[in-house]
Amino acid sequence: MDLPDFSSPSWLLLLTLIFFIIITGRYFLVAGLFYLVFYTWFPSRFEARKINKKKYKKGQFRKEIKWSLITSILFSIAGTIMVVLWQKGLTKVYTEAYQYGWWYLPVSLVIFMILHETYYYWIHRWMHQPTVFKIVHKVHHDSHIASPFTAFSFHPLEGLLQAVFLPIMLMILPMHYVVIIILLIIMTFSSVINHLDIEIYPKNRNNILTKWVIGATHHSNHHHYFKYNYGLYFTFWDKIGGTEK
Ligand SMILES: [Zn+2]
Ligand SMILES: [Zn+2]
């Protein structure tokens, strides 16, 4: 099949627009659904699992949605760049599931998540340096009590730091396109779950999920105390770095 030249100006614009619709749609769908289920439809059922009892600041959601839309533009541009890189043969993305063996599909997913965790943990710690924090990371922490809408609420500079990781990885790590889609779904759900401020994972501290996977309690502590719990998906870097609370 002959594909059009995606690097032409009209295609660059169209692709960015398509990605923007998909990415904002994904944000409103997942964050909105969690908000409706946990805060509108069944709040009393989750009251015991709500982490911060104080009410959200007036106008918080509106601000979070505004920053999230700006982040979505950056993610859309990154998406377009990935398509162009792929068309020019500069990525290691592959389409035949058996090309590297079936076993490699879940392995590549885990490798990506571990590398992403490492990248995010260390830039996150760097973003908490006082001078960097004020410029790059304060926007995210303006949400003292996280909400599902905090999931993409970043200053554009932080959005940029987050957006570059996937295109770089696609040029280095072979990944099947379905694995990439699964990763994007995991990223969205994990960010919304971690910012929900209602713990949905088992409360037992020794449970394997609570021990190694980040949930709302872990990340709400980060929004409350600032200097602990820098992780993204997993707790291992916080344990190694002595920053877990
Ligand atoms: Zn956060
Ligand atoms: Zn932070």
pLDDT for position 209 = 78
pLDDT for position 206 = 76
Conformation bin of residue 226: beta by default, left when phi > 0, alpha when psi is -120 to 50? left
pLDDT tens digit string along 30-44? 999 999 999 999 999
Cα 125 to Cα 18, 130, 159, 222, 228, distances in angstroms:
33, 11, 16, 11, 9
pTM for the model: 0.93
Q: How far is the CA of 61 from the centre of ligand 2 (A)?
A: 18
Which one of the ligands is nearest to 127 CA?
A: 2
Sign, CA dihedral 72-74-78-79, equals positive
Which one of the ligands is nearest to 243 CA?
A: 2
> Do residues 208 and 202 make contact, with C-beta atoms less than 8 angstroms apart?
no
Q: Report the chain's mean pLDDT, rounded to a whole number.
A: 95
Q: How far is the CA of 185 from the centre of ligand 2 (A)?
A: 22
pLDDT for position 204 = 74
> Do residues 64 and 148 make contact, with C-beta atoms less than 8 angstroms apart?
no
Percent of the chain with pLDDT strictly greater than 70? 100
| Band (2; pLDDT cuts 50, 70, 90) | confident
Q: How far is the CA of 223 from the centre of ligand 2 (A)?
A: 7
Q: How far is the CA of 180 from the centre of ligand 1 (A)?
A: 23
pLDDT for position 207 = 80
Whole-number Å distance between alpha carbons of 237 and 225: 17
pLDDT tens digit string along 181-228? 999 999 999 999 999 999 998 877 778 777 899 999 999 999 999 999
Q: How far is the CA of 137 from the centre of ligand 2 (A)?
A: 7
Q: How far is the CA of 171 from the centre of ligand 1 (A)?
A: 28
Q: Is 50 helix (H, G, I), strand (E, B) or coil?
A: strand
Q: How far is the CA of 105 from the centre of ligand 2 (A)?
A: 31
pLDDT at residue 124 tops 80 = yes
Conformation bin of residue 205: beta by default, left when phi > 0, alpha when psi is -120 to 50? alpha
Contacts of 137 (CB under 8 A, 6+ apart): 124, 127, 128, 155, 158
Q: How far is the CA of 217 from the centre of ligand 1 (A)?
A: 11
Mean pLDDT of 98-112: 97
Q: How far is the CA of 141 from the centre of ligand 2 (A)?
A: 6
Mean pLDDT of 25-32: 97
pLDDT for position 241 = 95
The number of beta carbons lying within 10 Å of the beta carbon of residue 153 is: 29
pLDDT for position 211 = 85
Q: How far is the CA of 6 from the centre of ligand 2 (A)?
A: 36
DSSP letters for 60-101: HHHHHHHHHHHHHHHHHHHHHHHHHHHHTT-S-EE--TTTT-
